Amino acid sequence: MKAALVVLIPLALPFLWVGVIVPLVARVLGVPMKTGLWRYDRKNRHLTNSQYMWAVGVFGFGGGMFLMNLTSRYVDWRLWGYEWHHPSAIRVILELAWALGAGLSFGLLTVHHRKSPE
């Protein structure tokens, strides 16, 4: 059972993050994103390039990567007792900075390959 949790929780969380949570939070912040994962690239073509870069790249991709890594490390630490996965404050801050930087890179690299209303 523990092995299934270690695999399923970190894998399910990014899909929930990208498909439901990011679009809902983006709507609250004024970015009109649509929910769901099916045809994700085509459903949000109405976003401007900057909206796409920040909402999909930094918040969606970077935030999802951060949550997946943090959850995976936390589950490893709590269930398996791996002490090197202990979520210390500096490790969480560095992980967040790395993930948001990767999300910014993802947003910058993919925003030029789409057609937007700008």
Look up the pTM and report it: 0.75
Q: Structure tokens of 36?
A: 């769901």
pLDDT of residue 58: 92
Q: Would residue 71 count as lying in a domain?
A: yes
| C-alpha–C-alpha distance, residues 6 and 72, integer Å | 7
pLDDT of residue 113: 65
Q: Would residue 90 count as lying in a domain?
A: yes
Q: Would residue 66 count as lying in a domain?
A: yes
Q: Would residue 38 count as lying in a domain?
A: yes
Low-confidence ranges of the chain (pLDDT < 70): 2, 6, 10, 37-42, 112-118
pLDDT of residue 104: 94
pLDDT of residue 44: 73
Cβ contacts of 73 within 8 Å, gap of 6 or more: 85, 87
- Domain total in the chain: 1
| C-alpha–C-alpha distance, residues 44 and 46, integer Å | 5
The domain of 97 spans 2-111
Q: Would residue 117 count as lying in a domain?
A: no
| C-alpha–C-alpha distance, residues 86 and 88, integer Å | 6
